[in-house]
Structure 1
């Protein structure tokens, strides 16, 4: 059951309204034991195949951080500790732009990856060094968020 964090906003001059939906995202990171480089976990969208971070809707009575931890596990099997305080937010829209998604992002330091998890056979995931991360992301708002975050951080 989805948490009803939705708002309706009238778009001036268009005669139509948009809906905004809150989501939670997981910026999963680790130190690669072989290279000692900081890496970020990316997952492929089920709909488009584009690379992004694990994210999704909040369940009923679920906190943003709990949703981020759940999404990281469901989409990529990532297990670790999350920051209670979000590291930032970004927005995106789908289709005709009438639905705007507001994603609150939490850092998750991944300590291991499960061998079995709900979406293992549905989507791809991969670890990418922070240096290579920007070129992997094609979604403009997520890319901008990640570039700004990385510019402020030596490592997540």
Structure 2
């Protein structure tokens, strides 16, 4: 049996109802790194990593960091979670929303601003090595594997028509 998505849980439904009654608070800001490379055939590939709790396919992401730009924080998350070294775009290429699961059961609504990272190389020795899987895949394949519709749309936008 697969775990329910965050928005399918009773706690999420109750929280959504209460948020509607009381007025919604703005989502919490996170930064994400869409890590890209060209393979030998010059096809675009995206680096996907597994989430820590449920092993879902996601992109590296996390909270903004004091003393770093949003782009710099996205690049740092890419290194910590996937060992990525590369060049990050200074402006986000898109955004998506998701509900972050929390220990108390009530989800935290997050907006992820996504920055493109052109990958130079990957380190095998990085802070979360051994805790996550990482895999290069075609953007359309990645879009079909993620849970977040907004992230899927960003990935689909990278796929050739």
Common fold, TM-score beyond 0.5?
A: yes
Match among 25, 47, 53 for residue 32 of structure 2 = 25
1:47-73 deviation digits (Å, cap 9, x = unpaired) = 221101110011223211011100111
Partner of 1:65: 71
For residues 95 and 54 of structure 2, what CA distance do their matches in structure 1 show? 22
Answer with 74-83 or 97-106: which moved more. Answer: 97-106
CA contact (8 A) 2:139 2:155 kept: no
Deviation at 1:110, TM superposition (A): 0.2
For residues 87 and 36 of structure 1, what CA distance do their matches in structure 2 show? 21
Tell me the secondary structure at the aligned position of residue 11 of structure 1.
helix
Deviation at 1:16, TM superposition (A): 8.0
* Pairing 1:53–2:59 present: yes
Greater share of helix residues, 1 or 2?
A: 2
Partner of 2:20: 12
CA contact (8 A) 1:43 1:54 kept: yes
Tell me the secondary structure at the aligned position of residue 27 of structure 2.
strand
Deviation at 1:17, TM superposition (A): 6.2
Deviation at 1:21, TM superposition (A): 1.5
Deviation at 1:83, TM superposition (A): 0.6
For residues 89 and 30 of structure 1, what CA distance do their matches in structure 2 show? 20
Gaps of 5+ in 1: 1-9
Tell me the secondary structure at the aligned position of residue 132 of structure 1.
helix
Answer with 135-144 or 50-59: which moved more. Answer: 135-144
Partner of 1:121: 130
CA contact (8 A) 1:29 1:41 kept: yes
Answer with 18-27 or 51-60: which moved more. Answer: 18-27
Partner of 1:83: 89
1:96-145 deviation digits (Å, cap 9, x = unpaired) = 66411111110000011112111011111100022422222233232133
For residues 86 and 17 of structure 1, what CA distance do their matches in structure 2 show? 24
Q: Structure 2-normalised TM-score?
A: 0.77
Partner of 1:5: none
Q: Give the count of matched residue pairs.
A: 141
